A and B are shown apart, each in its own frame.
Chain A
Amino acid sequence: MNQATSEQASVRQPAPGAKGRERSGRKRFNREGYLELYLILLPSLALLVLFKYIPMGGLIVAFQDYNIFQGIGHSPFVGLKHFHALFSSDEFYRVLRNTLVINIYKLAFWVPLPAFFAILLNEVRKLMFRKVLQTTLYLPHFLSWVIVGGVFVNLLQTHGGLVNDLIASLGGKRVSFLLEPAYFRHIIVASSMWKEVGWGTIVYLAAIAGINPQLYEAAAADGASKLRQIRHITIPGIGGTIVLMTMMSLGNLLGNSFEQILIMYNPAVYNVGDVLETYVFRNGIGQMQYSYTTAVGIFSGVVGFILVVTANKLCRKFFNQGMW
C-alpha cells in the first residue's frame, strides 16, 4: 500500500504550495476522498474494460482457426496463416483499393468545400438570409445515413427522380444510378458532402471570426478589393485550420464511410463499393469466417492507429494543438 501511494504520488501533479503535504500521501488520499472517487469511476471503467479492452484481447482469433463451439480457449493456433491468405488474396487488395479511393475522393472535396462556403457565408451581411441559409445547410448533419439514403434513392429514381428527369429533358438516357458501378462512388461522395459540408463550415466560420478586423480595414483603406482581401487575409488566416482538418481526416482514412456504404451499396456495386469494414462485416458475421476477417480487422486497425497517431503528432508539432 505504502509503495503504491508513493508511486501514485509521483504521477500526480502537485498543486502549487502543496509540497509540504505530499509526504503524508495516505492521509491526503483519505481526506480528498480518493477511494470514493475511484468507486464513482468504477462503473465506467468496468464497461470500458469489458466492451473495449476485452474485444482487443479477442483479436487473438486472427491467429487461430476459430470456431464458435471450441471458443477462444480451445480453437487451434495457426500462426500467420490468415495473414498470408490475406496478403495473397486479390479480393483483399480490391477492397483496400476501394477504401482508399473512396476516402481520398471524399477528402478531395471535404478539404476545400467547407472552407469555401465559410468564406462565402462570411460575405453575407443580411442576417436573416444568413440564418435561414445556415439552418438549411446544417440540417442534414442531424439526419441518419439511412434517411440520407432515402433522400438519394428518391432523388435518383429512374422514373420520377429529379436527376433523371433533368437528364431526360436534356435528351439524355435515364440511368439507374444505384445499380451502376460507374456511378456508385460519385453518389457516395455526393451524398456525404450533402450531409456534412454545411456543418463543416462552422469550424472555418469560427476561424474567420478570429481574424483581426483591422487587417481588413487597413487593406480596404489601401483599396484592396474583396477578392484580394480574401486571398491575402482570409485564406492565410484559416490556412492552419484547413491543414488541421485535413490531418484529422487523413487519420481516419481507412475508417470512414463504413456505415454509409453498408446502407447504400448492393451486390451490383460490390466491385467498386466494398470497403474494408463492409467486407469484414459480410464475410465475418454473415459467412462466419471469423478468423480471416479478424486478420483483416487487425490490418485496418493497426494502419488506422498509425495514421491517427502520426496525424496527431504532426498537429502537435506544427500547430501546438492535438486532437485530444
Chain B
Amino acid sequence: MIHRLTKGDRVFVAVCYTVLIVTGLLVALPVLNLISVSLSGGNLVYAGAIKLWPEQLQFDAYRYVIQSKTFFSAFRVSVIMTLLGSVLGLLLAVMAAYPLSKPGLPARKWIVLAFVFTMMFSGGIVPQYLLINKLHLLNTIWAVIFPSVTSVFNLLIVKNFFEALPGEIEEAAKIDGASQLKILFTIMLPLSKPVLATIFLFFAVGFWNDYFNARMYITDQHLMPLQVYLRTVIFEAQDPTGNFKLDQNSLRNVAPQSIINATVFLSMLPMAVLYPFLQKHFLRGMVIGSVKG
C-alpha cells in the first residue's frame, strides 16, 4: 500500500520514534551507568563524576570480586541448583505431560484439575516452611528445588505440545510392542526438542533468579546461592560472611559502590550470554502457552 504520508502523519511517526528512543535510553542508561561505575577509579566514583562512560578505566573491582571465596561459592551453588532443578523439572514435566496428553486416560480430567488447582491456591509460606522443616530439608538445596520443580505452567505447555503431535506415529510403535516409556523417550521426545529447550530455559531462569525459597530455607553460608549473596552485598554493602572488607585501606582506589556493581554485573553475565536463546525460546513459549488445551 503506497499512500503518501501527510504532514500530520510524518509528525506523528517522528513523535513515535522520539518516545521510543527516550524509553530505550531509560532502560539502557541505568545499566550502562552501573557498568561504568564498576570500571572507574575510586576517587572519581566518590566524587560522583561517573555518568555513562568509565573513566580511569580499571578492573580492580572485578579482581576483588573474583578473588572473593563467597562469591564463587554462591555462584557454584546457583549453577548446581539451576542445572539439577531444571533437569529434574524437565523430566517430571515430560513424564506428567505424556500420560495426561492421552485423551482416554481414566480420571485424566481430575488429575489435570488437581495440578491446575495448585496454581490458584496454596498452603502459603508458613505451612510450606513447617513441611520442609519436618522433612529435614532445611539447609539443603532440595528445599529450593522440590517445591518449584512441579511447575504446572510448564507441564501444560508440554501437554499441549504432545496433544498436537500426530497420533499415528505412536500407534505404529505400539503395534510393534514398544512400552509406553520407550515410546515417550525414543519417539515423542526427539520430536519435541524445541519445546523441551523452551521448558528447560523456563526452569533455568526460574531457578537462577529465585531468591525467596533460598532466603527462607537456607541459612548455611556454604549453601547460599548467588541471589541471596547478592542481596546482602547490594543492600547491606557487606559480605554476609563478614570478610567483604569495604574499608578503603585494603582497596586503594576502588569505591565500595564499584565492588557492588561489579558483583551485580558478574551475576548478570550468565543471563546476558544466554539472552539470544532466551529471547527466542521465551517468545516461542508464549505462543505455545497461549494455545489452550
| Residues in A1-24 with C-beta less than 8 Å from chain B | 5, 8-9, 11-13, 15
Residue-wise, chain B 105-145 has the 8 Å CB interface mask toward A (1 for contact) of 11111110011101111111111111101100000000000
Q: Are A55 and B123 in contact (CB under 8 A)?
A: yes
A69 within 8 A of B: no
A-chain residues with CB within 8 Å of residue B103 when the two chains form the complex? 12-13, 15
A-chain residues with CB within 8 Å of residue B27 when the two chains form the complex? 136-137, 139-140, 194, 198
The residue in chain A whose Cβ has the minimal distance to the Cβ of B99 is A37
Known contacts A32-B104, A37-B98, A280 near B125 by CB under 8 Å: yes
Cβ-neighbour of A138 out of B216, B260, B272, B279 (below 8 A):
B279
Q: Are B114 and A32 in contact (CB under 8 A)?
A: no
The segment from B53-61, B64-72, B206-214, B245-253 that touches chain A is B206-214
A-chain residues with CB within 8 Å of residue B127 when the two chains form the complex? 55-59, 61, 294, 297
Residue-wise, chain A 142-160 has the 8 Å CB interface mask toward B (1 for contact) of 1111110111111101011
Q: Are B108 and A11 in contact (CB under 8 A)?
A: yes
A277 within 8 A of B: yes
B164 within 8 A of A: no
Known contacts A150-B260, A162-B30, A285-B126, A120 near B118 by CB under 8 Å: no
A-chain residues with CB within 8 Å of residue B29 when the two chains form the complex? 162
Binding site secondary structure of chain A: helix
Cβ-neighbour of A48 out of B114, B120, B227, B268 (below 8 A):
B114
The residue in chain A whose Cβ has the minimal distance to the Cβ of B236 is A266
Cβ-neighbour of A8 out of B45, B106, B212 (below 8 A):
B106
State A297–B125 Cα separation when bound (angstroms): 7
Q: Are B48 and A159 in contact (CB under 8 A)?
A: yes
Q: Are A142 and B121 in contact (CB under 8 A)?
A: no
Q: Are A32 and B102 in contact (CB under 8 A)?
A: yes
A-chain residues with CB within 8 Å of residue B235 when the two chains form the complex? 149, 153, 263-264, 266
A172 within 8 A of B: no
Q: Are B119 and A324 in contact (CB under 8 A)?
A: yes
| Residues in B272-293 with C-beta less than 8 Å from chain A | 272, 275, 278-279, 282-283, 286, 292
Q: Are A147 and B264 in contact (CB under 8 A)?
A: yes
| Residues in A202-236 with C-beta less than 8 Å from chain B | 202-203, 216-217, 220-221, 225-227
Interface size class for chain B? 35 or more
The segment from A39-47, A97-105, A181-189 that touches chain B is A39-47
State A266–B37 Cα separation when bound (angstroms): 25
Residues of A at the B interface (CB closer than 8 Å) are 5, 8-9, 11-13, 15, 28-29, 32-34, 36-38, 40-41, 43-45, 47-48, 50-59, 61, 68, 71-72, 117, 120-121, 123-124, 129, 132-133, 135-147, 149-155, 157, 159-162, 165, 194, 198, 202-203, 216-217, 220-221, 225-227, 258-259, 262-264, 266, 277, 280-281, 284-285, 290, 293-294, 297-298, 300-301, 304-305, 308-309, 321-322, 324
B16 within 8 A of A: yes
Q: Are A297 and B124 in contact (CB under 8 A)?
A: yes
Cβ-neighbour of B28 out of A136, A161, A277 (below 8 A):
A136
Known contacts A15-B103, A45-B111, A56-B127, A160 near B212 by CB under 8 Å: no
